[in-house]
Amino acid sequence: MILHPRLRYREIRSFSNELRTLSEVIRLERLPLGAIRDRQARLLRWIVRYSYRNVPFYRDSFQRCDIHPDQIRSTADLDKLPVLTKEQVVCNYPHRMVAEGYDSETSFRCRSSGTSGIPATYLSDWATRDANFALLYRARSLFGYRPKHLECIFTYLAPATRWYQRLGFCRRIRISLLQPLEDSIEQAIRLRPDVLYSVPSYLRTLCLEGSERLGALPLVLVVSSGEVLDPKTREILREGFRAPVLDLYGAAEQPYVASECPLQSGLHVNMYNTLIEVARDGEGAAPGETGEILLTTLTNRAMPLIRYRMGDASRILPDECCCGRHGEMLDRIQGRCDDFLKSRTGREVAAIVVEAAVLSNARVKAFRVIQRSPSRLEIQSVGKIEDEAAARIADSMRQALMDQRLEVEFRDVEAIDPDPSGKRRVVIRESW
C-alpha cells in the first residue's frame, strides 16, 4: 500500500481524519443529550468569533445589527443574528464570504446542483470535509453498508477516484444522468452494485422502468438524498429494489445534516459539526412546532455558514430515539418537491435530469423549466444561454423524453421568482 502510485500525503491524512471522526462520533452518541448540546454551544461561540474576525460579510452583518460576538453564548442567542440566504451567498462569493487565508485552490470545493434553480459554490476546509465523509459512511454503516461494497451513484459529476477505492475499499462508480435511461439500467445490471444512490425522483423512475431486472440485483441498500422522499416513493423503492431505503438529508452547503434511523423513527441530526434550528420568521419555533430549517456549520474555517436558510421545513421531535443513540431527532423533511416532466406517451423524467442537462452545458445564475404542454418546454434563465449550449440542452431533453419533435424554447428573464410558498421549483409541469 505504501508504494501505491495514487497514494498521496493529502489522502493519507484524510483517511486518518475520517477514522478519528468515526471514533469520536461513536463516543459522542453515547453521551447524554445535555453534554452534546454543551459541546455544540462551545463550538458555536468559537465559530461566531472566528467568522467575525475573518469573514467580511459577517463582520459587516454583525455591525449592522449592533451585535458583538461575545453576545452569542448559546443557541438561545441566535435569534439576535440575521438569517443567511442562498442569494446572499451567491452575491458575496468569494471575496466577502470566504475566510481570509482560504480560497478555492486550498479548500474542498462543492458546487450545488441547482435544485433551487440558483447554482452556487461552497468551500470547506479539509478537516471538515474529512469529517463529513466519515459521517456519511457512519450513516450507511447502520444499514449494513461495509467498505467492501460497490456503490453506484447516478449523477453528472465525476470526481477523481481515491487511492483506497482502487484497492477495493468504499468503491463508487458514477453513472451519467444524461445518458438514456435504458443505458443506465443496463450499466447498473452489468456492474452488479451493492448500493444505489441518487435523488428519490430518479430512483423512482429507474425502479418503475427496470424493477424486474434491477430488483434481481443483490442490493444491500438504496440511498435517497437531495429531494423529499415521500412515503409512496419509499414504498415503490423498497418493493421494487427489494432492499432497505436510507433517507439522507444533506446538501452542497453541508453534505451531512441528518440521516434516517434504521428504526424509521425520524432523522438523527448531525450534532458533531452542525447546529440545526427550526424557526418561524427567523425566530426559534416552539418545541414540536414545524418551521424552516436554519443551518450553522460549527467547524468549517473556509466558508462558515451561520443561520443559513436551507429552504426546507421540519420539526425537532420531542423525544430521543429508542435505538440507543443520543441526540436530537428531526421529523420527516417537508421540502421542495419538483414536478416530473411527462412525455406524450406518459414517460416521466425526474427534475435532476433537467438540472444536469442545463448545468453541464451552460453557466447561468438561475433557471427554471416549465412544461407548457406534452410537446413544448420553456427554459427560463437569468443570463443568456448561447446557441450552441441551447442546442445541446434541447437534444438532451428530446432524448430524455424520447420525443424528437419536442419544441424547446429559451427565454431570458431578469429573475426567477419563488412560488407563493417561498420555495423554488426547477421543474413546473402545467395542467393540461
Boundaries of domain holding 217? 144-243
> Is residue 31 assigned to a domain?
yes
Is the confidence at residue 227, as pLDDT, over 70?
yes
d(CA 65, CA 43): 22
- Range name among 33-37, 46-50, 103-107 with the lowest pLDDT average: 103-107
- Range name among 60-74, 95-109, 199-213 with the lowest pLDDT average: 199-213
Mean pLDDT of 121-148: 95
Q: Residue 50's pLDDT band (boundaries 50, 70, 90)?
A: very high
Q: In this predicted structure, what is the pLDDT of residue 24?
A: 96
Looking at 243, 276, 309, the residue that finishes a domain is 243
Question: Based on the domain organization, do 101 and 197 belong to the same domain?
Answer: no
The partner residues of 349 in beta bridges, in order of sequence, read 341
Q: Where residue 382 sits, what CATH number does that domain have?
A: 3.30.300.30
Residue type, 95: H
Mean pLDDT of 232-256: 92
Q: What is the pLDDT of residues 76-89, one digit of tens each?
A: 999 999 999 998 99
Question: Based on the domain organization, do 15 and 148 belong to the same domain?
Answer: no
Q: In this predicted structure, what is the pLDDT of residue 1?
A: 41
344: three-class secondary structure by DSSP: coil
Per DSSP, helices labelled H in 65-143 are 86-92, 126-141
d(CA 291, CA 164): 41
Question: Based on the domain organization, do 261 and 120 belong to the same domain?
Answer: yes
Is residue 358 within 8 A of residue 364, CB to CB? The reply is yes
Total residue length of the chain: 432
Q: In this predicted structure, what is the pLDDT of residue 164?
A: 54
Is the confidence at residue 400, as pLDDT, over 90?
no
Question: Based on the domain organization, do 235 and 256 belong to the same domain?
Answer: no
Q: Residue 153's pLDDT band (boundaries 50, 70, 90)?
A: very high
Extract the C-alpha cell encoding 154: 447516478
d(CA 216, CA 226): 26
Domains identified in the chain, total number: 3
d(CA 193, CA 241): 12
Closest listed residue to residue 403, CA positions, set 344, 356, 341, 339 = 344
Closest listed residue to residue 149, CA positions, set 48, 235, 246, 38 = 246
- Range name among 24-33, 94-103, 365-374, 414-423 with the lowest pLDDT average: 414-423
Question: Based on the domain organization, do 271 and 308 belong to the same domain?
Answer: yes
φ and ψ at 187, to 5 degrees? -65, -40
Max alpha carbon distance in the chain (Å)? 63
Q: What is the pLDDT of residues 259-288, one digit of tens each?
A: 999 999 999 999 999 999 999 877 888 778
Is the confidence at residue 420, as pLDDT, over 60?
no
Extract the C-alpha cell encoding 101: 487565508
> Is residue 227 assigned to a domain?
yes
Q: Where residue 232 sits, what CATH number does that domain have?
A: 3.40.50
DSSP 149-204: -EEEEEES--PPPPHHHHTTSSEEEEEETTS-HHHHHHHHHHH--SEEEE-HHHHH
Angstrom CA distances, 188 to 70, 152, 157, 160, stand at 54, 7, 17, 20
Extract the C-alpha cell encoding 301: 474555517
Mean pLDDT of 412-422: 70
Q: In this predicted structure, what is the pLDDT of residue 15?
A: 84
Question: Based on the domain organization, do 23 and 124 belong to the same domain?
Answer: yes
Mean pLDDT of 242-265: 94
Question: Based on the domain organization, do 118 and 34 belong to the same domain?
Answer: yes
Is the confidence at residue 158, as pLDDT, over 60?
no
> Is residue 1 assigned to a domain?
no
Mean pLDDT of 171-179: 86
Q: In this predicted structure, what is the pLDDT of residue 356?
A: 79
Q: In this predicted structure, what is the pLDDT of residue 282?
A: 77
Phi-psi domain of 381 (left: phi exceeds 0; alpha: psi -120 through 50; beta: other):
beta
Phi-psi domain of 387 (left: phi exceeds 0; alpha: psi -120 through 50; beta: other):
alpha
More confident residue, 74 or 353: 74
Residues 6+ apart with CB under 8 A from 251: 112, 226, 257, 310
Is residue 309 within 8 A of residue 294, CB to CB? The reply is yes
Is the confidence at residue 256, as pLDDT, over 60?
yes
Question: Based on the domain organization, do 315 and 279 belong to the same domain?
Answer: yes
> Is residue 420 assigned to a domain?
yes
Q: What is the pLDDT of residues 339-388, one digit of tens each?
A: 678 888 887 787 778 877 887 788 777 788 999 999 999 999 988 899 99
Q: Residue 419's pLDDT band (boundaries 50, 70, 90)?
A: low
Question: Based on the domain organization, do 93 and 174 belong to the same domain?
Answer: no
Closest listed residue to residue 409, CA positions, set 361, 352, 371, 359 = 371
Is the confidence at residue 21, as pLDDT, over 60?
yes
Closest listed residue to residue 366, CA positions, set 432, 413, 315 = 413
Looking at 278, 305, 330, the residue that finishes a domain is 330
Question: Based on the domain organization, do 350 and 303 belong to the same domain?
Answer: no
> Is residue 307 assigned to a domain?
yes
